[in-house]
Amino acid sequence: MRARLSTDGGARGNPGPAAYGYVLEAADGTVLDARGEAIGTATNNVAEYRALLAGLERAVELGVDELEVVSDSELLVKQMRGEYKVKNEALRTLWEDAGRLARRLGRVEFTAVRREHNELADALVNEALDRAQP
């Protein structure tokens, strides 16, 4: 099954209260899953990777074998493509976990987009952050 995974992560403050969001869509545009979840205090980059991991895990569960990952995090996309080294130790573990999950899917392509082209995942992040704020 071919699918598209849109991911986003954010922190209010860096680090600060953080959340991730993802939208997993079938090739025909049908939403297979969409989730936003607060993750406590983290950096933007950690939140971006947590979004990727959650979405990849769901794609594996659903039997996706060809996936386009869309993110507005240029750092994440370039690290996952192997264009940038992962120097931060906290990110290295998340990057390694994401790589293992991606290999279970077969073909995975990473695409960087501007924030305005990632609206639903971004909205899920903000909704999760708003729910988590006292």
Q: Averaged over 32-52, what is the pLDDT?
A: 98
Tokens standing for residue 123: 């909205």
The number of folded domains in the chain is 1
CATH label of the domain that carries residue 104 = 3.30.420.10
Range of the domain at 37: 2-132
Q: How far apart are CA 42 and CA 129, in angstroms?
A: 12
pTM (2 d.p.): 0.96
9, 72 contact by CB (below 8 A): no
> How close are the terminal C-alpha atoms of the chain, in Å?
41
User: pLDDT tens, 82-109?
Assistant: 999 999 999 999 999 999 999 999 899 9
Q: How far apart are CA 90 and CA 83, in angstroms?
A: 19
Tokens standing for residue 48: 């971006």
